[in-house]
């Protein structure tokens, strides 16, 4: 009987530690943002396009090109969502619009790796899509998980105590 109480106490303590541990401690590590390789055209020209989540071009959207927290250029997209920026050198740049941003490694003409893209494609808009977690999405809520764990511990204890 004493060993059963010890086991129950240990399980309750373990559950309490699990519920008090911040979820960020248990979360998967966040990696560095992916940087796409893009080859500049002659004259250091970057050609890019802004599209929305459905792939439609975004017209008249401001685009800012930054390097080392310094704005290098800014422009607007045309009717097809394209923009161009000239006189750039190779390096890592951030292309930003009001609805999104991405990092690109720009390569001078003739120096880019074979897998480099010919232009910078930036998809802007909402990144959250309803239903992305499927049927079990409610299990991502830490309060729901804590409630399920508490119920899994409390119900057997109550049943055991009621049967004694």
pLDDT digits (tens, 9 = 90+) for 71-124: 999 999 999 999 999 999 999 999 999 888 899 999 998 899 999 999 999 988
Of the pLDDT bands very low, low, confident and very high (cuts 50, 70, 90), residue 129 is low
Q: What is the pLDDT of residue 110?
A: 87
HSE-up of residue 118 (Cα within 13 Å, Cβ side): 1
Are 9 and 65 within one domain? no
Residue 35 phi, psi dihedral angles, 5° rounding: -115, 120
Domain membership of residue 129 (yes or no) is no
26, pLDDT greater than 80: no
Return the CATH number at 61: 2.60.40.10
Domain membership of residue 76 (yes or no) is yes
Are 119 and 146 within one domain? no
Domain membership of residue 158 (yes or no) is yes
Q: Higher-confidence residue: 47 or 8?
A: 47
Are 9 and 63 within one domain? no
Domain membership of residue 60 (yes or no) is yes
3, pLDDT greater than 80: no
Are 119 and 56 within one domain? yes
Structural domain for 16, as ranges: 2-22+138-163
Q: What is the pLDDT of residue 23?
A: 60
Q: Higher-confidence residue: 69 or 30?
A: 69
Domain membership of residue 143 (yes or no) is yes
> Which residues touch 47 (CB under 8 Å, ≥6 apart)?
41, 82, 83, 84, 118, 119, 120
């Amino acid at each position: 009987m004493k060993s059963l109480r010890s086991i129950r106490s240990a399980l309750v303590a373990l559950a309490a530690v699990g519920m008090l541990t911040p979820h960020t401690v248990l979360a998967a590590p966040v990696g560095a943002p992916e940087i796409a390789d893009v080859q500049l055209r002659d004259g250091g020209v970057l050609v890019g396009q802004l599209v929305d989540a459905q792939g439609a071009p975004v017209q008249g959207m401001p685009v800012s090109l930054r390097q080392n927290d310094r704005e290098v250029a800014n422009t607007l997209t045309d009717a097809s969502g394209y923009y161009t920026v000239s006189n750039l050198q190779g390096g890592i740049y951030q292309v930003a619009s009001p609805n999104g941003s991405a990092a690109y490694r720009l390569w001078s003409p003739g120096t880019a790796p074979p897998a480099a893209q010919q232009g910078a494609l930036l998809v802007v808009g909402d990144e959250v899509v309803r239903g992305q977690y499927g049927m079990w999405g409610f299990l991502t809520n830490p309060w729901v998980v804590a409630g399920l764990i508490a119920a899994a511990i409390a119900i057997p204890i109550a049943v055991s105590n009621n049967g004694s």
